[in-house]
Amino acid sequence: MEQTVVENRIVLTAPKAPRPAASTFRGFRPPTSNTTYTPNQFFDVVIPHFSRGVVRIVGYLIRKTLGWCDANGNPQEEQIEASYSELEHKAGVSRDMIRSALDDALTGHMLECVREGRPKLAHDAGQSALYSLRWSGAAYTTRRAEFHGFFEGDGNRTDIPNEFFDVVIPNEPLSVIKVVGSIIRHSIGFQTKHGRRRQQVSLSFQHIQNYARIGSRSDLAKAVRIAMEKNYIIRVADGVFSHRFDERRSATYALRWSDSLIGQKTAPAVDQSENQTSIGQISAPADQSENQTSIKTKPENETINRQPAANTELQQKLITTGFSEKTAAKLIREHTRQTIEEQMAWLPHRAPARSPAGLLRRAIEQQWPAPAKLRAPEVLDTHGWEFSRHFYAAFGGNRGEPVNEPSPREVEAANAFVQRLTRAAAGESQVSEWGRALGQVAREQRNPFPSLQLAIRQLGDAFLVKIEKQRLHAQLASVTQLREQHEQTHRAAWLAWLTEQESAMQQSQPEEYARFIAKRNHERADLAADPKPWSRKALDSFDVESVRISAFRQYFSLPDFWQWDASINNQALNPTA
């Protein structure tokens, strides 16, 4: 962008470049016919958050499903049969990206697969997959995490010129699609208080970048330039940046219409659709509604939610801060009184360098948290605060009382990390010891860590695994010790039970018991005849009571100690207790 200084104002204009070749696209036809009744969530959710392949496939299905409706507005085809060849040549998605784009669209709740496709084989003609748009009866949302299908209720749709789906989406990079989509959404995609549509809209680079989620301003500038060169959009007025707030203006953009007449209503032809719209208004009124509805005005089906009248006192405070009356009224309409008053109270603690009003507006629109200095008392004596102080103490080699006072942001990160460590340690919290342990690990690294947050990011996972291993080893040692103590306590009872079983066997199975005694005598004789040292040692303990009872148990397949403890002992081991 070039900057021109005019009377202490900076006018932002596009850089001069060689004149591009004339575009074959002559502009969008006015949305009085040849439109697709498109869910606004395609602009609010799909285009900003998903890949070009997903946008092209979903846009293609929206065009085929909603671009052809009957007299009652119902789609003529709700399920679309789509082959890979069709998605490649008509939707503009390369063959190697189709599968991943479809998977992302299904995972993102935009599409439903009604019938799986089948490849063409030697003796099988194959079968194309069958897809449909996914609809949801839940409340309208623009949040990706809450999106579970396109809103199926009345309103929240816009008649979009078919050229956006037929020309822009299949052929342009995602950044250009985002720029054109942003201007569509904020112009004809919004309905004013009196039921009309914006035709042009003042949008700053920052607004477009935030809404469309474009990574860098250079990419955005390139996309805007391409969109203008190809006659998708026009810049109605250049933006102005001035030291005076009331002189600042965002650039004003509009779609390039094929009739080339901004502000002129187009009379419908005889054979045009009855779904007409008024796009003759040059600028949106200050009291416009942000309700997102169809481009068609249907009082009987669509309800326009009007914001309550602006609070005069609050509006005056905003004007005193540096806002124009129009901007102050807009902020009051779009945000709660509590949000505005909190941000105004916090403004002196943010130390705005140049433009207090500009900083306050960003804080209100983006709902910034309280400044760190105001949140400091809230984090004192928390687990994160204790962890952070001991981390820095160990990192600095201080074995005594920590002297460091961590920032609220560091405490918030440490609080979340301590919660994970506590879960890994099965609820046994050792906050200060953990902080010092991580600080010591960070100290031993070759490259020093400048902050606790970076240490958690780079060392946190390994430290968490270490804590989990310590817990498992401690549990194993505890269970082993418990089992040893239990066996030592009840072993005598088990041996007494085996002795009772031996007496019972002598009476109930005398012949089998005689064979057991004969087997024992034979084994004793073998040991006595063997001159090896280990045989002599085994012979010395052969007739010990515990050895004899163990041999008896094995011969008659009686339970060992732990089997007896689990099934017979009335004081069996309970590890959970």
DSSP bridge partners of 36: 160
Contact 55, 177 (CB under 8 A): yes
pLDDT, residue 186, reads 85
How many C-beta neighbours within 10 Å does residue 25 have?
15
Which 3-state string (H, E, C) describes 404-415? Answer: CCCCHHHHHHHH
Q: What's the average model confidence in pLDDT over 480-491?
A: 89
87-121 confidence digits (pLDDT tens): 888 888 988 888 889 889 988 989 888 777 777 66
Question: What pLDDT was estimated at residue 30?
Answer: 78
- The per-residue pLDDT for 263 is 41
- The pTM score is 0.44
Return the number of other C-beta atoms located less than 10 Å from residue 570's C-beta. 5
Tens of pLDDT, residues 26-35: 888 877 668 8
Give the other-Cβ count within 10 Å of 452's Cβ: 28
| Comparison of pLDDT for 10 and 368, the residue scoring more | 368
Distance, CA of 317 to CA of 337 (rounded, Å): 12
AA identity, residue 446: R
Residue 431 has pLDDT above 80, yes or no: yes
Contact at 8 Å (CB) between 288 and 192?
A: yes
Using alpha carbons, select from 385, 322, 328, 379 the residue that is nearest to residue 354. Answer: 322
Instruction: Tell me the pLDDT tens digit for each residue of 436-460.
Output: 888 888 888 766 666 788 888 888 8
Structure token pair of residue 462: 């390994």
Query: CA 15 from chain center: how many Å?
Result: 37
Amino acid at 285: P
DSSP-assigned letter for residue 137: -
Write out pLDDT tens, residues 44-83: 999 999 999 999 999 999 988 887 665 455 555 666 777 7
When pLDDT is cut at 50, 70 and 90, the band that residue 391 belongs to is confident
Residue 296 has pLDDT above 80, yes or no: no
39 band by pLDDT with thresholds 50, 70 and 90: very high
Tokens linked to 509: 């199975």
Domain 41-155, CATH: 1.10.10.10
Nearest in space to 151 (alpha carbons), one of 139, 164, 166:
139
Those residues with Cβ within 8 angstroms of residue 520's Cβ, 6 or more apart along the chain or in another chain: 548, 551
Q: Where are the beta strands (DSSP E) in 178-269?
A: 200-202, 233-237, 239-242, 252-255
**What's the fold here for domain 1-37+161-265+277-284?**
Arc Repressor Mutant, subunit A (1.10.10)
Q: Which of 201, 290, 286, 215 is nearest to 249 (CA)?
A: 201
Identity (one letter) of the amino acid at 205?
F
Question: 158 phi and psi, to 5 degrees?
Answer: -140, 140
